[in-house]
Amino acid sequence: MLVCMSRRICVAMYQAIVALRPDWHNDQEDQGAVKVVMTGSAADPEHWQPHIASLSQRKRLASRAKHPNDPLRLVIVRDMWLTGFDAPALHTLYVDKPMRGHGLMQAIARVNRVFRDKPAGLMVDYIGIAQRLKEALGQYSRSDQERTGIDTAEAVAVMLEKVEIVQAMFHGFGSHGLDYRAALTGTPASAWH
């Protein structure tokens, strides 16, 4: 699930994703790997209209999201499904929207459910809400705080392991393989030169 700040951004993200993955697009609501889940009206821009869903359409999309074998891989939302939506198979929450307190905890709960071999969910923070998450966790009991999240050192170790896997996947990419280090200090364009 990708959470964006506005409906405009949701539609723009959809367009960017299908430009990279055209096979993920499908106009049919029961097909396609990526969908925007939002409400709207006939007064909204024409290019938004394919993404504006009625209540019954949103229910059918929710049913798809709840079935782990459905080809739906990514839903893009602004507010829809951040509270009260239960799909235990959802595993990753990409956050590009400021959130705080109870709303933030509810959003995380969309993916932080044990399911089959999934021990927890992953939150990818694109906007810098880590401090808000710590503040929100402070509102919960000590036992809730201990059960929520993982040790930072453990998270870093897992992340470094995954970086090694990705580096191995891109071995030989370009003249020097995939060297991510330039992206840490350079400009976005310099990382690929």
Which CATH homologous superfamily contains domain 2-149?
P-loop containing nucleotide triphosphate hydrolases (3.40.50.300)
Percent of the chain with pLDDT over 70: 82
Q: Measured between alpha carbons, how far is 34 from 109 in angstroms, rounded to an integer?
A: 21
**Looking at the DSSP assignment, which residues form a beta bridge with residue 37?**
77
pLDDT per position as a tens digit, 57-84: 999 999 999 998 999 999 999 999 988 8
pLDDT per position as a tens digit, 176-193: 555 666 666 766 565 455
Domain boundaries along the sequence of the chain? 2-149, 151-193
Q: At residue 145, does pLDDT exceed 70?
A: no
Let me know if 9 is exposed, middle or buried by CB neighbors in 10 A (0-12, 13-18, 19+): middle
Q: Are 69 and 101 in contact (CB under 8 A)?
A: no
Phi, psi (5° rounding) for residue 17?
-65, -45
The DSSP code for 2 is: E
For 106, the 3-state DSSP assignment is helix
- Res 67: pLDDT: 92
